[in-house]
Amino acid sequence: MLYGVQRSVKRGSGMVMTEARRRPGPKRALSEDDVLDAALRLMDEDGPVAASIRKIAAELGVTPNAVYTYFADKAAIEQALVERLLGEVNAAAPATGDWRDDLEQLAVGIRARLVAHPGAVPLFLGGAMNGPQALLLGERLLTLLAAAGLDREPAARASYLIMVYVLGAIALEVADQPHAGALPPEADRIEARRAAWSLVPAGTFPRTAAATDVMAGWIGTDQYLWGLRRVLAGLTA
């Protein structure tokens, strides 16, 4: 038999009947990382609303109670995802000794992680970023701004301004896509925007039509760095 062992049972008629005794198979091993991986896959496909406890459990082939063993609710999963992504940013952040270069690379690292996982972007906009990795990122920003010559108060204000710029730019880049799911390559997205902007009537909107080649790249790396560098220049002027 496929499951278990056979046994013979004699009945009053003298006939021998065979029945299967089902033997339970091994339990599926599950970890916090498994739950977070499943949640991130669901978010990347259909946005943050897709990662309910029930859907995460179905993705893993377990019952919802198995997920609750590791996380109290969906909010706990979302906070853990934020911490995981920020942990990846912190682990990869360089320390060259040049505050401007290090800050740029930190900002580029945040964008790279979130563009790769667009479904997680709303978590950074609507949730409290107060976990250990979020605090470490904030400490890094304050340290870099102190190296730029900013005192305690302007450095604190500047760190918030930088995060507003970084997360705002990323949110607009992700929102530029009409459907949830993984983003196409940057070059393809810029080309699609260029085609759309080319339809603007130059006779009615002459300045807009003249700038469409630049506007097409608003969601690109060059624009992201252009804006960040001017923010930093203004902060240290």
Share of the chain above pLDDT 90, in %: 76
**Distance between CA atoms of residues 102 and 144, nearest Å:** 8
According to DSSP, residue 96 is labeled -
Q: Which CATH number do you get for residue 95?
A: 1.10.357.10
Cα distances from 158 to residues 54, 107, 149, in angstroms, run 41, 14, 12
Q: Report whether pLDDT(170) > 50.
A: yes
Domain enclosing residue 207, as ranges: 32-235
Counting DSSP H helices and E strands in the chain, the numbers are 12, 2
For residue 181, being part of any structural domain is answered with yes
CB neighbours (10 Å) of residue 81? 24
Query: How many structural domains comprise the chain?
Result: 1
**Distance between CA atoms of residues 144 and 150, nearest Å:** 9
Mean pLDDT of the residues in the chain: 88
Flag the least confident range among 27-31, 72-76, 108-112, 117-121. 27-31
Q: Report whether pLDDT(3) > 50.
A: no
pLDDT of residue 21: 44
For residue 17, being part of any structural domain is answered with no
For residue 19, being part of any structural domain is answered with no
CA count, 13 A, side-chain hemisphere, 222: 9
pLDDT of residue 28: 58
**Distance between CA atoms of residues 179 and 188, nearest Å:** 15
For residue 14, being part of any structural domain is answered with no
According to DSSP, residue 148 is labeled T
Max Cα distance, the chain (Å): 100
pLDDT tens-digit readout, 39-80: 999 998 888 888 999 999 999 999 999 999 999 999 999 999
For residue 67, being part of any structural domain is answered with yes
